[in-house]
């Protein structure tokens, strides 16, 4: 039986609502399906015509679809925690260019395929900033990936052993934003360094890469081993780059000290 004939036979045998629900499901229009009765009642009450009624249903579907995409992007990014920049205290780190961060949140650097390097000692909020920028990119509907340098190298080596390196490399190259956290914490093996270099190389001018590191550039040779490889890598990474200077005392330590101080010294005056 042809598709049209099959639809025709269903129309004859099933109540229209059952069929409509079935077709909306087939067409993947869940918000349409959920809302059409309620919206019809509202339209009847306010005397709205059918175009306005359909328009509202279509808009609801679009908005929900966008929201579902964002949620999918956030899940796919594999953030260790979902943090936004709304909870970031810029006053705690005067060395950080707040205007630049706010500009990066808008995401134009991703369209321009530019990179970001957050550089500074431990506890200064580098991961928080990376998570915030990653979340902002997901909210624009972009494909984002979050990983640490050590985990990425591990994953690449495993993929190579299992003969699926090309597939993984293609997936990584297709991300609009790849965040590589904690570069420089552990020195890399020769193979590890080469595999990581390939990731940077394949993303060069194709997508944005955000790196957080505690190591100034002149010490990168220590992690990558070879001076030639490090030079080539830095050349690609820093060709179009925004550098976030994050020099401050550790936020965690400062907060802990503050807490201890206020515990030892109960606040004077009218504080409860």
Binding site for ligand ADP (CB under 6 A): 83, 87-89, 92-93, 122-128, 251-252
The binder of 88, among Mg ion, ligand ADP, none, by C-beta within 5 to 8 A per type, is ligand ADP
3 state SS for 123-165: CCCHHHHHHHHHHHHHHCCCCEEEEEHHHHHHHHHHHHHCCCH
Minimum distance from CB of 171 to ligand ADP (Å)?
A: 25
Give the per-residue contact string, 83-122, with Mg ion (x = CB under 5 A; - = no): ----------------------------------------
Residue 212, strand partner residues: 118
Query: N- to C-terminal Cα distance for the chain?
Result: 79
What is the greatest pairwise CA distance in the chain?
A: 85
Q: Which is nearer to ligand ADP, 53 or 251 (CB)?
A: 251
Name the residue nearer to Mg ion (CB basis): 127 or 147. 127
265 binds, among Mg ion, ligand ADP, none (CB under 5 to 8 A by kind): none
Bridge partners of 147, per DSSP, are: 180
Nearer residue to Mg ion within complex by CB, 31 or 127: 127
Going edge to edge, which strands form the sheet with 144-148? 144-148, 177-183, 208-213, 115-119, 241-245
Which of 115, 127, 139, 208 lies at the binding interface for Mg ion (CB under 5 A)?
A: 127
Q: How far is the CB of 122 from ligand ADP (least distance, A)?
A: 4
Q: Which residues partner with 211 through β-bridges?
A: 117, 180
**Window 196-225: contact mask with Mg ion (x via CB under 5 A):** ------------------------------
Rounded distance between C-alpha atoms, residue 96 and residue 108, angstroms: 19
Beta carbon nearer to Mg ion, 120 or 207: 120
Decide: 147 and 175 in contact? Cβ < 8 Å: no
Are 123 and 168 in contact, with CB atoms under 8 Å apart? no
Residue closer to Mg ion (CB basis): 63 or 186: 186
Q: Which residues bind Mg ion (CB under 5 A)?
A: 127
């Amino acid at each position: 039986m042809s598709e049209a004939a099959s639809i025709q036979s269903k129309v004859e045998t099933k109540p229209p609502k059952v069929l409509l629900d079935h077709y909306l499901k087939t067409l993947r229009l869940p918000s349409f399906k959920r809302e059409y009765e309620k919206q019809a009642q509202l339209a009847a009450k306010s005397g709205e015509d059918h175009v306005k009624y359909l328009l509202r249903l279509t808009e609801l579907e679009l908005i929900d679809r966008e929201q579902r995409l964002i949620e999918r992007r956030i899940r796919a990014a594999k953030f260790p925690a979902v943090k936004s920049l709304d909870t970031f205290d810029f006053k705690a780190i005067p060395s950080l260019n707040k205007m630049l961060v706010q500009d990066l949140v808008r995401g134009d650097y991703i369209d321009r395929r530019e990179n970001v390097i957050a550089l500074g000692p431990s506890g200064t909020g580098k991961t928080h900033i990376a998570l915030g920028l990653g979340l902002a990119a997901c909210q624009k509907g972009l494909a984002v990936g979050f990983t640490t340098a050590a985990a990425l190298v591990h994953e690449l080596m495993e993929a190579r052993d299992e003969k699926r390196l090309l597939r993984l490399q293609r997936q990584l190259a297709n991300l609009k934003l790849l965040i590589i956290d904690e570069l420089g914490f552990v020195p890399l093996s020769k193979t590890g360094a080469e595999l990581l270099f390939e990731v940077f190389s394949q993303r060069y001018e194709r997508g944005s890469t955000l790196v957080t590191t505690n190591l100034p550039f002149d010490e990168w040779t220590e992690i990558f081993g070879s001076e030639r490889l490090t030079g080539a890598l830095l050349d690609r990474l820093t060709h179009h780059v925004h550098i976030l200077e994050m020099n401050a005392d550790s936020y965690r330590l400062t907060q802990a000290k503050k807490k201890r101080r206020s515990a030892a010294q109960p606040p004077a005056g009218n504080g409860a």
